[in-house]
Structure 1
Amino acid sequence: MKRIGLVDIGSNTVRLVLFEYNEETGLKELQNIKTPARLARYLDEDNVMAEEGIDNLLSILGSFQKISEKYDVTEIYPVATAAIRQSVNVEDILERTKNEVGMEIKVITGKEEAYYGYHAVVHTISNMDAVTIDIGGGSTELNFFENKELIHSVSLPFGVVTLKSMFFEGKDHNDEDALEETEKYVKEQLRSVKWLAKRRVPILAIGGSARNIARIHQSSVNYPIAGVHGYSMDRNDLQDVYDLLESTKGDDLDDIDGLSKDRSDIILPSAIVFKSLYDLVRAEEFKFSRKGLREGMAMSIISKDYPAAFNKYHIFRDSLMELASDFNILKSEGEKRQEIAERIYHELARFDFIKTGKHEKYLMKNAAHIFYLGSFIDRDATSQHTYYIISNSNINGIVHEDRVRLALMASFKNKTLLKFYAEESGWFDSSDLDVLLTLGSILKFSNALNVSNTGIVQDLYLEEEGDDMVMTVKYKGDPIAEEYQATRQKKHIEKIMDKDLDIRFVEV
């Protein structure tokens, strides 16, 4: 196990994130605390950081150090971006921080900042090709990656705080002239990046402004599940959020669900940047990542001690295994359930009882690993807990709709509950439900054949016997629990086949 602390000293906010890593549960956040420092506003016209700004930073870092000590975190990595990077008195800031707080700040370049954002995204989102954007307070980082390999990277000299100071000083947040001038400037800056135009790939947005845009949109459409990581919007969605912000009076911004009070005065400039980038790239979608600079740095630091800790090509699988570990599901238990489910699936397909796509089968195999994980909380409400935990958990590497599919299969108890859960999202039609019912039924019967978690089932196959079907289950060990549960749950397989099923256990 390894614990580290990352302090992200940005132009708008300063944030402390405490991480813990171990090989079973992966990288976890222990604590995440931010404070709106707005350091960029303490830079004068000569880029000298005022004493008030430095004192504010030192006070925040001192508090963060005390919090870290309470979590037994001694490895703290303070990282500074645009506001400190641009300060002509940066050496004085670093020296005072070291002498008065005992922290050595690393000032990273715009290129480094962009790289860490890329590193986090490719290890937590499945897109093979994309443009990433991270709008900070004083700079904006852009990357283009292809097949998950970084191709281009740039840091632009503006962020939400600097855009506000450049165009909105003494004006309302939705001043028409300020918005027009901001858009003109942003488009000029983006067009100066020659590799950016007409990429026709998704845009992956990182950072607090992006998260706020996503949360505002989710609230406006009554989005049925939690989390913005992997949440996708299109150009019209971005325009809808912009129109809402632009038409809302400053005093009423706090009434917009999803909008952080700390960002209410700087959110419109970020929306302009996102819209302009979408149009220039001719993007396919606009997707959000909760993972950025801090996670990218944490992964890089931890990889020095654990080189195999993170695999950008096995994102979904690794995330799923970590979730299973969180709820005390043994790897051997999940693998055996998957093995049985696959065998049943193939036997049913062999007799043409089922026909589903490869993607649905893929999700079923992975749902087998976390089937009924909600029993960890309460066995009397296993299905309910399983559905709500999975559908609202941050599972890297899959889209939100597939996350709900996964939850529906892994929580399957009966058709009535399946329909009840599915109706909450409103995403699935009757044909989708038929597939989910079939695959959930296979999982429930598979669970019955390994209910003792002793791995007694060695093989199984189906045969026709008159108008009925016979399933021969070859076992090694004591099948008493499996025989009882399989007999109880065979009705789910009988409904798929529309035939009676006789189960025969044969010792090998």
Structure 2
Amino acid sequence: MKRIGLVDIGSNTIRLVIFEYSEKTGLVELQNIKTPARLYQYLDEDKVMKEEGIEVLCDTLESFQKVADKFEVAALYPVATAAVRQSENITEVIDKVKAHTGIKMRIISEKEEAYYGFYAVVNTLDYEDGVTVDIGGGSTEVTYYEDKELKFSHSFPFGVVTLQKLFFKGKNHNDSEAIEEARAFVKEQLSSLKWLGMRKVPIIAIGGSARNFARIHQSLSEYPIAGVHGYSMTKENLEYVFSTLVDSTMDQLEDLDGLSKDRQDIIVPSGIVFTTLYEEVTATEFIFSRKGLREGITMSILEEDYKHPFDKNEVFKESLRNLAYTYNIHHEDAMQRQKLADLLYFELEKQGIIEGDKHQKKLMLQAAYLFYLGSYIDSDASSQHTYYIISNSSLNGVDHRERVKLALLASYKSKSLLKFYMDETKWFSDKEKSEIQMLGSILKFAHALNVSNTQVVHSLYLEKQKDHYDLVINYKGDPIAEEYQADRQKKHLEKITKSKIHIIFTENLH
């Protein structure tokens, strides 16, 4: 297990994130604090960082060092981006910080900043191709990748603070002339990248401004589940949030749920970049990634100490494994549930009772691994806890809709409870509801066949008789608990087969 303190010294905010990593739990965020330092405002007209700005930086780093010490981090990694990077007196800033605090800052280049954001995205989201955008206070990084491999990257020397100073200084946040001038400037800058236009891929947005856009939209649409990582917005969604911001007074922005107080004056410039970029790329959707520069740097540091700690091709699988470990899922029991669910699915498909679907089956087996993980909190309310935990967990590599579907399957108890959960989102069609109920029924019965957690069932098969089905279950050991539960839960399979089922337990003597 290793703890790392990453200090992101941006143009707008300075943030400390403390990560803990182990091979069993993956990368976990333990602490996340920030201060709106606005370092960019301390750069004079000649791009020289004023003494006042250096003092703010030193005071913040000293404060963050004390927090890191309490968390017993292995090392503190302060990394600086545009505001420090663009300072003409950069050497003086680095030396004074080292002299006052004992901390040596690392200056991230434009190329590195773009790369680390991309690296975090492909290791925590499952989009094969995409454009990433990370708007900071003083710079904006964009990349284009294919098959999770970086193809192009660029850093623009403007961010939300820069745009605010260039076009909105002394004006209202929603000044129409300023908005049009800023939009024309951003469009000209974006179109200068010949590799960016008409990509027709998702835009994955990183950073605080994008997070605020996602949260505002969730608030306006009364989004039913938690989390913004992997949250998807359409072009219309983006424009709706942007028009809401423009149509609001500054007083109204203060009461707008999802908008941070320290971003009220710079949120419109970020919206200009997002909406203009969407048009330039002819994007298919706008995705928010909660993982960015800080996670990308931390992952790179960990790769020096661990062998392949992250697999960009198995993002969701790793996320599920880490969740299972957190809630004390026993691997052998989970594997047995998967095996039994797989056997039941195959038998139902072989008999022509269900129509097999590869994606559907894969999701069912993932749910089998996590089935009733909520019993870790309370066995009597395991279904309720399971649904809440999975549907509201920030899982990597899966969109929110699939996450809720996984939660519905892993928590399946009865048709009535399933309907209650589904009413929360109202996301699924009648056909999808029937499929989820069918898969949940398979999982419920598979769980019954290993209720003692002794893996007594070795195999099973289904035989069609004249007026019923025989389910022959081969076991080795003592299946007394499984026999009782199988008889109680066979109604779930009978709903699928639309026929009576006779369960026959046969002992494996070999």
Amino acid at match of 2:324: A
Q: CA RMSD in A?
A: 0.9
Q: Distance in 2 between matches of 1:502 and 1:104?
A: 72
Instruction: Please list the CA deviations of residues 421-480 of structure 1 after superposition, one character each: whole Å capped at 9, or x if unmatched.
Output: 001101112111110000000001101111122212111111123211111111122212
Contact map agreement 1:356 1:435 (CA 8 A) in 2:
no
Q: Distance in 1 between matches of 2:481 and 2:310?
A: 39
Counting matched residue pairs gives 508
Q: Distance in 2 between matches of 1:183 and 1:353?
A: 57
Counterpart position of 1:209: 209
Question: Which stretch has the larger CA shift, 348-357 or 297-306?
Answer: 348-357
Counterpart position of 1:428: 428
Counterpart position of 2:506: 506
Instruction: Please list the CA deviations of residues 6-38 of structure 1 after superposition, one character each: whole Å capped at 9, or x if unmatched.
Output: 000000000000011111110000101111110
| Equivalent residue runs for 1:89-108 within 5 Å | 89-108=89-108
Measured after TM superposition, the shift of residue 91 of structure 1 is 1.1
Q: Distance in 1 between matches of 2:319 and 2:181?
A: 43
| Equivalent residue runs for 1:117-266 within 5 Å | 117-266=117-266
Counterpart position of 2:351: 351
Amino acid at match of 1:125: L
Counterpart position of 1:485: 485
Q: Distance in 1 between matches of 2:494 and 2:225?
A: 33
Q: Secondary structure at 1:256's aligned position in 2?
A: coil
**After TM superposition, what 4+ stretches of structure 1 lie above 4 angstroms from structure 2?**
none
Contact map agreement 2:412 2:444 (CA 8 A) in 1:
yes
Q: Secondary structure at 1:304's aligned position in 2?
A: coil
Contact map agreement 2:2 2:74 (CA 8 A) in 1:
no
Amino acid at match of 2:4: I
**Alignment TM-score, normalising by the size of structure 1:** 0.99
Q: Distance in 2 between matches of 1:466 and 1:54?
A: 85
Q: Distance in 1 between matches of 2:76 and 2:51?
A: 24
- In structure 1, stretches of 5+ residues that fail to align are none
Measured after TM superposition, the shift of residue 356 of structure 1 is 4.9
Q: Secondary structure at 1:172's aligned position in 2?
A: coil
Amino acid at match of 2:94: L
Q: Distance in 1 between matches of 2:356 and 2:227?
A: 29
Identity %: 58
Amino acid at match of 1:200: K
Q: Secondary structure at 2:141's aligned position in 1?
A: strand
Corresponding position: 1:461 with 2:461: yes
Contact map agreement 1:117 1:206 (CA 8 A) in 2:
yes
| Equivalent residue runs for 1:22-171 within 5 Å | 22-171=22-171
- In structure 2, stretches of 5+ residues that fail to align are none
Q: Distance in 1 between matches of 2:330 and 2:284?
A: 39
Q: Distance in 1 between matches of 2:4 and 2:479?
A: 47
Corresponding position: 1:382 with 2:387: no
Q: Secondary structure at 2:132's aligned position in 1?
A: strand
Q: Distance in 2 between matches of 1:486 and 1:456?
A: 13
Q: Distance in 2 between matches of 1:502 and 1:381?
A: 30
Q: Secondary structure at 1:123's aligned position in 2?
A: helix
Q: Distance in 1 between matches of 2:45 and 2:383?
A: 60
Q: Secondary structure at 1:348's aligned position in 2?
A: helix
Measured after TM superposition, the shift of residue 307 of structure 1 is 2.2
Measured after TM superposition, the shift of residue 500 of structure 1 is 1.2
Q: Distance in 1 between matches of 2:302 and 2:478?
A: 44
Counterpart position of 1:449: 449
Amino acid at match of 2:477: G
Q: Secondary structure at 2:124's aligned position in 1?
A: coil
Q: Distance in 1 between matches of 2:308 and 2:474?
A: 37
Measured after TM superposition, the shift of residue 330 of structure 1 is 1.6
Contact map agreement 1:212 1:259 (CA 8 A) in 2:
yes
Q: Distance in 2 between matches of 1:233 and 1:411?
A: 28
**Alignment TM-score, normalising by the size of structure 2:** 0.98
Instruction: Please list the CA deviations of residues 96-148 of structure 1 after superposition, one character each: whole Å capped at 9, or x if unmatched.
Output: 22122121100010110000000000001100000000000000000000000
Amino acid at match of 1:59: D
Q: Secondary structure at 2:251's aligned position in 1?
A: helix
Contact map agreement 2:442 2:493 (CA 8 A) in 1:
yes
Q: Distance in 2 between matches of 1:304 and 1:291?
A: 20
Instruction: Please list the CA deviations of residues 169-227 of structure 1 after superposition, one character each: whole Å capped at 9, or x if unmatched.
Output: 11111111111111111111111111101111111000000010011111111111111
Measured after TM superposition, the shift of residue 149 of structure 1 is 0.3
